[in-house]
Amino acid sequence: MKKYRVLVFSNVPAHANPCDIYVCEQQPAVDLMQSAAASSALSEVGFIYPEHNHHILRIFSPKCEMQSCLHATLAAHFVFNKKRLNEFSDGLLFQQQKTNAVYTANKISLPVTCLTSAQIFNKFEGQLPSFLSSCVSSWAATTASGRLRLMVELANEQQVKHLQPEVFNSVSHDNPMLESFFIYSALDDSGSYAGRMFAPALGISEDPVNGNSCIALFSKLRLDDEKLTAIKVKQNEGAWVEINLLNTQAFVTAYCSIEHEYLFNAEISA
């Protein structure tokens, strides 16, 4: 078994969102995968193992198995292609779906599905906490688990920067239907935004870079303006999430690199 520490969205460790990807010879036990994620000090951890003619990808946060995670999916596809697992497999399946990634030496591009109008709620019906009450707008989007991602637009980037992750702990506790929070603002450049994502319910105080939140934002903006074809979201000073529409398909492209590679003598299987 091998473990790869993958830097996603930036090749600079301080700016990237790192993800551990385990490549296993057989399916690991679920409790061991969860334990590895809980002890990783990372937002998510991915596991790749063979099954029939394909390889399977499963993703865990420190608290639970994830039904969707763009960050870990990008990292897994990067390892799957860079380490040439794709040469001995009919593809990498996540949630029983095969994704055709576009791989280059230091980038991976994934087609993504935009949210529909039925998955986006133009107004959040709950009560916003006082520190967000002066927001420009608030709305919500469904997540893969069926819960909600609260999306809040603030007036400027400085307001986004000044937020402390711990302020979302009580909000999350009091609103169990809220899985995560994405706080963003428009930047001066057209189509550019700054954003931060918090998900204490998933054991993630703050996700350094979160692609799924950016897809939700792109989906909402596309519903409001069908001529929109691209956005960039700055998640920290050195990492951007770029979403582009090619014909009718949206793609997320990310810089990736392998920071460390570890070899284990034993499999983490039952």
Instruction: Tell me if 23 sits within 8 A of 29, measured CB to CB.
Output: no
Which one of 44, 153, 179, 206 is the catalytic residue? 44
Give the phi and the psi of residue 159 in degrees, each rounded to 5: -65, -40
CA 183 to chain centre: 15
For helices 70-82 and 211-224, angle between their N-to-C axes, nearest 10 degrees: 120
What HEC string does 205-269 produce? Answer: EEECCCHHHHHHHHHHHHHHCCCCCEEEEEEECCEEEEEEEECCEEEEEEEEEEEEEEECCCCCC
Instruction: Tell me if 83 sits within 8 A of 29, measured CB to CB.
Output: no
44 catalytically annotated:
yes
DSSP assignment of 178-209: EEEEEEEEE-SSTTEEEEEEEEGGGTEEEESS
- Give me the active site residues, please: 44
